[in-house]
Amino acid sequence: MITLTVVSLLLSALSFILPAAAEPCIAMDASFNLLVFGVGGKDFNAGTQDSWTGSSATDITASGRPPFDGSNTTCYLAQFFNAIYVLNADSSDSTSVYIYNPTGKSWSKQPVTTPSGSPSFDPTDFKAILDHDTNVFYALSKGELFFLDMGALTAANSTALTWTDVGAPVAWGDLSTYQPVMALAQNHIHFIGVQGLTAGECDIFVIHFSFFQPAAQSYSSNFPESHGQAVSFFQKSDVQQEFAYIPDDGSATYVINVESNTTQTLAGPSVKDSSAQYFAGITSLVQLSSANSALSFLAYTEGSDNSAAAWTKITAVTLSTSSSNTSSTSVLGSGSSGTKTGSSPSATASTSDAGRTVMNTFGLVAGTMTLATFMI
Ligand SMILES: *[C@@H]1O[C@H](CO)[C@@H](O)[C@H](O)[C@H]1NC(C)=O
Ligand SMILES: *[C@@H]1O[C@H](CO)[C@@H](O)[C@H](O)[C@H]1NC(C)=O
Ligand SMILES: *[C@@H]1O[C@H](CO)[C@@H](O)[C@H](O)[C@H]1NC(C)=O
Ligand SMILES: *[C@@H]1O[C@H](CO)[C@@H](O)[C@H](O)[C@H]1NC(C)=O
């Protein structure tokens, strides 16, 4: 019995670590609790902003969750319905949308089809926003825009949904190599870094008219037209009016207001990571850097002077003690969890790929023997 337990523990740990890199994901529920998914095989609720710098989080790991072993995993809040939609969190299934229902703490998997033919949606190469009012995803994939209507889903429906072609913004030039930087505000999707834009401009897709605006809009700023990450701030209710843009070099955080057509230039994140994920609530912008095992936030007040806003480390959920900066570092369990199975080794990653494989295998065995080191 004991031998069996150790072996199955080892096997489950192996299956957790070896197939693919863990890729955590962040989102907030409709009460703006910070949810951190895919941390050492677990998911956590870090509570509202006032508790992020504390030392505890609630383990919300539940059955039916995706393995969070995909690439480019992204999470979205459907604010009207209090549902979280998760894309690309399962390396064995890149098309389905996993739905987390924060109220029932339950998961389900929505089947989604991607029709073949041309142009077709490439589920491994796209950037998407979830439209606040219509609950429809819009994704730019290889220069072509597609939509996926999520209806009012807070749990999966057995009828498959389908990515549908919208078209391509011909007036914006050839976008076949454009790596999208896009965010939603006032039912308009804003695109940064499209060829031909000058600093401080966005190209715009008007959702309600399914219209690619031919002329760019200026936001009285000089934010760079380069690659980066963009994410919309929520309002208590109603559509977003502002979004944050962080260029890949992390040199600044730009907050663009599409009502006043102005931009605030705020501090760049302390952790510079061009692969970092961002999620904005009403009063915060959260950064998740898997590569640096860092979770931090910028407190932000819409309509106020935020020039002194500073980035603060989130301590309620700890990603890893590893010093490796590579994305294939396995990410550790954390928060207030006490379960010991399925944990991953700590502080074993080295800087080279070959070294990491060896070290992880070693750490796995060591971690299994000692039932792993847990961080609180
Ligand atoms: C992740 O996204 C990038 C940029 O869209 C893409 O080039 C890459 O193929 C994606 N990786 C996977 C494994 O889907
Ligand atoms: C499930 O999908 C079918 C077909 O689109 C639709 O008629 C039905 O209303 C959906 N159910 C829910 C609960 O959304
Ligand atoms: C912002 O720009 C839009 C489009 O050019 C314009 O309709 C709107 O009046 C501008 N807003 C302000 C406050 O200038
Ligand atoms: C990651 O580590 C490697 C090797 O130490 C280093 O060359 C690289 O610059 C680091 N990358 C980042 C983003 O810190």
Q: Is the pLDDT of residue 302 over 60?
A: yes
User: pLDDT (tens digit, 9 = 90+) per residue, 156-190?
Assistant: 999 999 999 999 999 999 998 999 999 999 999 99
Residue 251 has pLDDT above 60, yes or no: yes
* Domain ranges, ordered by start, for the chain: 44-323
Selecting from 3.10.20.30, 2.120.10.80, 1.10.10.1100, 3.20.20.30, what CATH number does the domain 44-323 have? 2.120.10.80
Q: Which amino acid is at 338?
A: G
CA distance linking residue 223 with residue 126, whole number of Å: 23
DSSP labels, 177-243: T----EEEETTEEEE-S-TT--TTEEEEEEGGGTEEEEEEEE-SS---SS-EEEEEPP-SSS---EE
Give 355-373 pLDDT, tens digit per residue.
223 333 333 333 333 333 3
Q: How large a percentage of the chain has pLDDT more than 70?
A: 80
CB 351 near ligand 4, within 6 Å: yes
Buried b (16+ CB within 10 A) or exposed e, 337-359: beeeebbbbbebbbeeeeebeeb
Q: In the prediction, which pLDDT does 21 show?
A: 60
* CA 59 to centroid of ligand 1, rounded, Å: 30
* Prediction pTM value: 0.80
Q: Which of 97, 159, 161, 162 to mutate to test the pocket of ligand 2 (most atoms within 8 A of CB)?
A: 159
Average pLDDT of span 215-244: 96
- pLDDT confidence of residue 337: 39
142: pLDDT confidence band, cut at 50, 70 and 90? very high
* Mean pLDDT for the stretch of residues 288-298: 94
Task: Determine if ligand 2 sits within 6 Å of the CB of residue 162.
Answer: no
